[in-house]
Chains A and B, each alone.
Chain A
Amino acid sequence: MIARRDLLRASAALTMAGCAQRARPLREDGRLVVTFWYAYGDLVRKVLLDLVARFNASQSRIVVKAVHQGDYFEALAKLRTALAAGAAPTLSHVVLEVVPYLARAGVLEPLDAYEGARAMPFVAALDQRGSFAGADREPLVCIPFNRSTPIVFANARVLEDERVEIPRTWEELADAARRLTKRAANGETRWGFEVPISWWYWVAMVGQAGGRLVDPGGRMTLGGDAGVEALRFWQRLVREDHVMRPPPGRDYQAWQSSNESFLGGRIAMMWSSTAYVRYLEDNARFPVVAAPLPRHVRASVPTGGTMFVLLRSAPEEEKLAAWEFVRWMCDAEQTIAWSTRTGYLPVTRPAVDRLGQGRWYERHPNDRVAYDQLADAAPWPWSPELFRIDRDIVEPRLEDAVLTGRDARMLLEQARSDAERPA
C-alpha cells in the first residue's frame, strides 16, 4: 500500500524531475530554437516583436520564438508551473522582486561563465549588483532588460491653466493636488492626483520618508515609522483632502485605468512608470510633462521592470543561443531602439552616451527624467522572501489602509510580524 508520505515524495520527485535538464535542444529548419516567454502588451509588445524579428533575420543559426504570457504576474505563475512540469522555456524575463527567490530555488542559470557576462557595460544602478543590496556575493543570474523607475506625469495644459508648478515635495504635492482637483455641478470630478495603491510606489515613499525596507541587520522592517508615514500620507490625500483617487483594479489593471483617466483629462497628475512615456506622449491630446517624484526628507525611488533570466533546465546549446540573443539585445543599437520607442531606461552606458551625443534627450526631455532619478535609486534587498512580502503581505494591507481607513501603523505591524514568519 502506498503511504501518503510516499505520495508526496513522488509528487515532489516528479516536480524535481520536471526541473531537471531537458537533454535535447529544439531545432526548426536546422536552426536552434530559443523559446522566449515575455509579458506585456500593446506598444511594448510590438517593439519587442520587431526586435526579435530583426534578430532572427540577422543570422541563420538561431530562431527566437517569442511567446506572450500575459502580464508579469501571470507570466510568473506560468513560468513556475512550467518549471515544475519540465516544460520551461529557454529564456524569460521576470519582475525584479522575484529574482532572489528563483535564484534560491536553483532554477536560474548562473551566467558568470558566459562569454562577456561580467564585462557588459551596464548602467550601475540597473544591473544585478546595482539593483540588489548584497547581490555582489551572489552568482550572476539576471541581466537588465526593461528597466524603469516611477515618475510623475502631468497634464501641462491643466497645470498652466491653474498656474500650478510640478510639485517637488510631499507638501507641494498635496497643495498642487488640492488646487488641481475640480468638482463640477453634475458630480464629475477632475482629480488632482492619482497613483495605484501599489507596493512599488509605497516603497518609493518609504525611501522619501527616510526609511528602508530592511535594517542593516537584515531584518525586514518595512520602513518602520517611514513606512507608516508614507501610508498615512496616502490616507490623507484620499480620505481627508479628497484630492487623490485610487484607481480601480489591481496590478496592471489599475495602472492602465490611471493611464486612461490621464489621457481622458480626468486626472491632472499621476505617478506611473517611465515605461509609459512614449505611449502617453503619442496618445495624449495635450502636452505631457514628466518629472521626478517629489522628495520628503530625501529623494528616493526604487527601480522596477524586469530582468532577463536563462532557465537552468534548458539544454546547453539552447542556453548558449539564448545568451547570444541577450547580448544582442544589450548592444547599443537595440538598447536605444527599445528605450526610445517605449520609454524604458537605456540599460547600458554606450547607449546612454549615444543618446546624449545625438541630442535625443534635448528633443525628448521626458525620457531623461527616469535616468536622472537613478542618482536617487534605492537598491532592493537580496531577499528570497521579497516577492512574497510584496504580494501576499504588504500590498493587500496598503489597499486596506487607503480604501477602508484602517490604522496604518497597526496594519504595517501585522505585515511585519507576518513577514518574519516563515512561509
Chain B
Amino acid sequence: MTPRARWHPWAMLVPTLGLLVAFFLAPIGVAAYESLFSWDLLTPPRFVGTSNYAALAAHGELLHIALRTIAYSTMVVAGTMSLGLALALLVDRPGRFFAFVRTSVFSAYVVSWVAVALLWMWMLDGNGGIFGRALHGSPLGDPRWALPTLAVVGVWKLTGYAMIVFLAGLQSVPRSLHEAAALDGASAWGRLRYVTLPLLAPTAAFVATTSLVTSFQAFDVVRIMTQGGPARATELFVYAVYEQIFLDLSVGRASALTVVFFGLLLALAALQLRVWRARAGVAR
C-alpha cells in the first residue's frame, strides 16, 4: 500500500508518538531536570547540580542498588524460564489431570502481588509459618537470604505465565519434525535438544524479556515483605525511588535514581536487541 501523501504515515503515528512523549519521554525529561535540584515537595527547589548523583554514588549505594536489582532479575528470569519450560514439557499432554495442573500453576500468576507477598510472609513467618518454623526463623531477616527469598517468590508468581507461553510455543512446533527426527533414530532427549529447543528460541526470548521487565519493576513484593531491609539487602531500584521520594523526602535524589534506572534498562534493552539481531543475521 502506497500513501497518497508523504505525511500520511507520520499522521498515523501521531497518536502513538503523542502518548509516548506525554507519558514517557516528557516525564523522563522532567525527572532528569529535577535530578539537578534538591526538592522535598513542600519547599521551593534549590539547584544543586550533580550532587544528587554524587550522594547516591557515595559509599557505592547506587552501584549496590543496580547490582542488587540485576541479581534479583537474573534469579527471577533464570528460575522462571527453567521452571516454566520444565513444567510446560511435563504438562503438554491431553487429559483432565494435566488441564487441572496447568490451571493450578497458572493461577499464581493471576493473583495480585500484594496477595502473593502476604501469603509468603505468612508461610515464612518465624513464629508460625510452615517454612519459617522449619528454618528456625524467617530468611527475610537475614541479609544473605532475603534477596534470594524474594526471588523465589517472584519465580513462584511468574512461572505459571512462562509455562503457558512455552506451552503455546510447544504446540506450534510441527509434529512432522518430531516424527522425522524419530524416524532418523533421534532419542527423546535428542528431539528436545535439536528440534524443540531451537524452535522455542523466539518464545524463550519473549519470556525472558517480559520476565526481565517485570522483575526490574519489582515493588509490591519488596514494600510488603521487607521494606528494602534487612540492611538494605532487598532495596531494588523502584523501591529505592519510592523510599527516596516518600520516606526520605528527596525528590531530587529519587529523580536521579529514575534517570539511572532508565539508562540501565535502555542499555540492557539495546544489548538484548543487538544479540537478537546478530542471531537473526546468523539464521539468515
Residues on A close to B: CB < 8 A? Answer: 4-5, 7-8, 11-12, 15-16, 19, 73, 76-77, 80-81, 83-84, 101-102, 104-107, 187-189, 197, 245-251, 253, 257, 260-261, 264, 266, 387-388, 391-392, 396, 399-400, 403-404, 414, 418, 421-423
Contact = CB atoms under 8 A, between A and B. Distances in A.
A11 B227 CA distance: 29
Interface residues on B, range: 35 or more
A250 B227 contact: yes
Given A253-B227, A261-B127, A188 B136 contact: yes
Contact of B226 (A8, A76, A250): A250
Interface in B229-270: 229-232, 244, 246-250
B22 to A, nearest CB: 13
Given A73-B247, A84-B42, A249-B141, A8 B33 contact: yes
17 contacts: A4-B33, A5-B33, A8-B45, A73-B247, A105-B43, A107-B42, A189-B136, A250-B226, A260-B127, A264-B128, A266-B127, A387-B249, A392-B247, A399-B229, A418-B55, A421-B55, A422-B48
A105 B232 CA distance: 29
A257 B124 CA distance: 12
A182 B126 CA distance: 17
B29 interface: yes
A102 B105 CA distance: 49
B44 interface: yes
Nearest to A260: B127
Contact of B41 (A8, A80, A247, A421): A80
Nearest to A85: B41
A77 B42 CA distance: 12
Nearest to A393: B248
A249 B231 contact: no
A264 B42 contact: no
B112 to A, nearest CB: 18
Given A403-B230, A423-B249, A257 B127 contact: yes
Interface string B125-137: 1111000000011
B38 interface: yes
A80 B249 contact: yes
Contacts of A392: 244, 247-248, 250
Interface string B25-65: 00001100110011111111100100000010011000000
Contacts of A19: 42
B232 A248 contact: no
B212 interface: no
A73 B226 CA distance: 14
A266 B128 CA distance: 11
Given A77-B246, A81-B41, A250-B227, A396 B232 contact: yes
Contacts of A257: 125-127
Contacts of B43: 104-106
B33 A250 contact: no
Nearest to B225: A249
A132 to B, nearest CB: 19
Contacts of B231: 396, 399-400, 403-404
A387 B48 CA distance: 21
